[in-house]
Amino acid sequence: MNKTAYDKVKIARGNDRPTGLDFIRGIFTDFLELHGDRRYSDDAAIVAGVAFLNSLPVTVIAIEKGRSAKERTLRSFGSPNPEGYRKALRLMKQAEKFKRPIICFVDTSGAYCGIEAEAHGQGQAIAENLMTMMTLNVPIISILIGEGGSGGALALAVADRVYMLENAVYSVISPEGCANILWKDPSKAAQAAACLKLTAQDALYYGIIEDILSETNLGESTFYQRIKEKLLHELDVLNMDPKLLDNRYKRFRKFGMQNDPKEKDPAEKDTIQGSVE
Amino acid sequence: MPLLSFTHRPQNELEKEGRMAAPIQEDAGEPEKTCPNCRKPIPLSRLWANHNTCPCGYHFRMTARQRIHFITDKDSFFELFCGIKAADPLNFPGYTQKMETVCAASGEVEAVVCGIAAIGGYDCCIFVMESYFMMGSMGTAVGEKITSLFEFAQQNRLPVIGYTVSGGARMQEGILSLMQMAKTSGAVKRHSDAGLLYIPVLTDPTTGGVTASFAMEGDIILAEPRATIGFAGARIVEQTTRKPLPRGFQTAEFLLEHGFVDAIVPRHTQKSVLTKLLKMHHPMRGTA
Ligand SMILES: [Zn+2]
């Protein structure tokens, strides 16, 4: 049976899905978490550090929602504060200094909405990431593993390659928020989800992502092995690219009106493509 | 070069005649607006002559064209990229009809007006967002116009002045709207890396995806008094935190206090402040 857009939203939000830290443990070795933004504090909603991808040193940044109720509260349910984005930026600049590629795992309903978050410049923190990532001179790959909620997700997804898991979603607003604005009725979230074109299949159709990653054997070692091989292969390609930054700019520059999306129906694209088997 | 006399240049037709405000119309039939701050009625002609500010200091919203008229030198504005309009890439329910209504009501085709102009004799690129067009929301057309303007400014080595007003990303263009945040940020970065000046002026309200992109990426960030500036909507913050919001939360003054804007500039001094800043960053500075 075909899943609706809102089915996928619910799957993407599921408590039993692998979280950022599961991906880090499954794909990399010798991960060492590095804490703090060197300005104010350490945001537990973003886990970041250095690790090996096979023999290649990389910088890994992941939004972590947490598992237990206690951990989820500690990590603000994966909604980063400005300090989290600033920590990510600090470590991305460090990656550039040491010529390490950057791998990001995105899973957030959105940047945290709070009094302190606003007082500490949530908008400014996201803006600075968007701007800086555009010219960071190392390959960046971002994978949306669950929810890709608006600017808070994009702040870790200005990348050379962006992938989504089969049931991940990527949206400018939550379906509930959209339904509330459109119909003053948050219970119409399912209709709103369909309107927003937020599935991985839609994102591929509109050229927002390069590929969809199959969730076959989700969370098992073969699943992580597949992603690892894909990362290694793409990093090989990106490391050889003399026009890395020009291509990154063009990647985002093209999202607008002058280009029509690929002449294909999204329904036809509902098959998983290009996963490294 | 008009460098020597810039401080004494009349800033509009009214000042040329030596007065800051239009005379009060005795004609009782003139339409009035009531100031939400001091509750006094103001005749529209008087409001207009005072850059849409009340004598009490309250700043009313302005249309993009009004702003261009008051901030740029007379007849210096030349519009660019005016043919760029939003399509309906998602076939979003009701979007096409809504756009038709909004276009007819506002007289604009999109939520930003871009162009080149002179301010106090200094050439610059300028964009002014339009609050009367879907609350200045950023879809693909707004992103495309602003990106194109920064690219144009970079090619022609011009500074950019940008008046922001926005409710955020435009929901009806979905994920493509979100991508405009990255796209515009990329163009701002390239313009900046070329050593060129960008001054955003944040006006009421500047929120959401615009705050989290080009509004906060300026070299010098100015704001209008009392303007609402923030990322998340105040109501959402209140719902999420279940705490009362502090007084003046998300105002320009709040951002100044927390270090996120450089200066709050009332509307009647904006032109002279921008002129000075353009002069200080002009490539011929110090030679006049
Ligand atoms: Zn007043």
How many domains is chain B partitioned into structurally? 1
In chain A, which residues have their Cβ closer than 8 Å to the Cβ of B87?
A: 257
In-domain check, residue B110: yes
| B35 is a domain residue | no
Is B69 a domain residue?
yes
Name chain B contacts of A117, Cβ cutoff 8 Å: 231-232
Distance B42 CA to ligand 1 centre (A): 8
Q: Give the gap in angstroms from C-alpha B281 to the nearest C-alpha of chain A.
A: 22
Distance CA B175, CA A140 (A): 20
pLDDT, tens digit, for every residue of B48-107? 888 999 999 999 999 999 999 999 999 999 999 999 998 899 999 999 999 999 999 999
Residue B70's domain comprises 62-280
Q: Is the ipTM above a cut-off of 0.85? A: yes
Whether cis (ω within 30° of 0) applies to the bond prior to A186 is: no
Q: How many CB atoms lie within 10 A of CB B168?
A: 26
For residue B53, how far is its CA from the centre of ligand 1 (angstroms)? 8
Phi-psi region of A81 (alpha: psi -120 to 50; beta: other; left: phi over 0): beta
pTM equals 0.91
**Nearest to residue A82, comparing CAs of A128, A51, A47, A49?**
A128
Q: What residues in B contact A124, CB-CB < 8 Å?
A: 211-212, 216, 260
Distance of CA A142 to CAs A24, A60, A159, A202, B145, Å? Answer: 13, 10, 6, 17, 27
B186, B215, B216 ranked by CB distance to A249: nearest: B186
B9 closest CA partner among B63, B64, B100, B76: B76
Q: Is A259 helix (H, G, I), strand (E, B) or coil?
A: coil
- CATH number assigned to the domain comprising residue B186: 3.90.226.10
Q: Does A249 touch chain B (CB under 8 A)?
A: yes
Residue B234, in any domain of the structure: yes
The string of DSSP letters for B59-113 reads: B----HHHHHHHHSPTT--EEESTT-----TT--TTHHHHHHHHHHHHS-SSSEE
Q: Which residues contact A225 (CB under 8 A, 6 or more apart)?
A: none
Q: Which of B114, B144, B147 is nearest to B130 (CA)?
A: B114
pLDDT, tens digit, 9 for 90 and up, residues B195-237: 999 999 999 999 999 999 999 999 999 999 999 999 999 988 9
Q: Give the domains, in start order, of chain A with CATH numbers.
A: 5-268 (3.90.226.10)
Rounded to 5 degrees, what angle do the CA atoms A93, A251, B200 make? 65
Residue whose C-alpha is closest to residue A156's, from A213, A85, A253, A82: A85
The CA distances from residue A124 to A129, B79, B227, in Å, are: 9, 29, 17
Q: Looking at chain B, which residue has its C-alpha nearest residue A200?
A: B175
Cβ < 5 A residues, ion ligand 1: B 35, 37-38, 54, 56, 58
Q: Is A245 on the interface with B (CB under 8 A)?
A: no
A31, A224 in Cβ contact below 8 A? no
Closest CA to A229 of A277, A162, A159: A277
The average confidence (pLDDT) of chain A is 92
More confident residue, A180 or A139: A139
- B210 in a structural domain: yes
Q: At what angle do helices A122-133 and B174-193 cross, to 10 degrees?
A: 70
Cross-chain residue pair A127–B211, CB shorter than 8 Å: yes
Residue B32 in domain: no
Residue A146, CA distances (Å) to A16, A62, A88, B17, B187 in order: 11, 12, 19, 64, 29
The answer to whether residue B168 is domain-embedded is yes
Residue A128 or B13, more confident: A128
Residue scoring higher pLDDT (B3 or A213) = A213
How many C-beta atoms lie closer than 10 Å to residue B57's C-beta? Answer: 14
* B147 contact A CB<8A: yes
Q: Considering CB atoms only, which of A124, A171, A197 is closest to B216? A: A124
* Chain B hits for A114, Cβ within 8 Å: 232, 237, 240-241
CB contact under 8 A, A252 and B182: yes
Asked, for residue B26, whether it belongs to a domain, the answer is no
Q: Is A154 a residue whose pLDDT tops 60?
A: yes
Q: Rounded to whole angstroms, how far apart are CA atoms A201 and A271?
A: 8
Looking from the CA of B202 toward its CB, the CA atoms found within 13 Å total 38
Give the whole-angstrom CA distance, residue A102 versus residue A219. Answer: 22
Beta strands B112-119; B122-129: pairing state: antiparallel
- Region B23-42 average pLDDT: 78
Task: Report the range of poorest mean pLDDT among A173-177, A255-259, B32-36.
Answer: A255-259
Q: What's the CA gap between B178 and A172, in Å, rounded?
A: 5
What is the Å distance from ligand 1's center to A136 Cα? Answer: 48
Mutation for testing the B interface, residue in A39, A106, A115 having most B CBs under 10 Å: A115
What are the pLDDT digits (tens) for B100-142?
A: 999 999 999 999 999 999 999 999 999 999 999 999 999 999 9
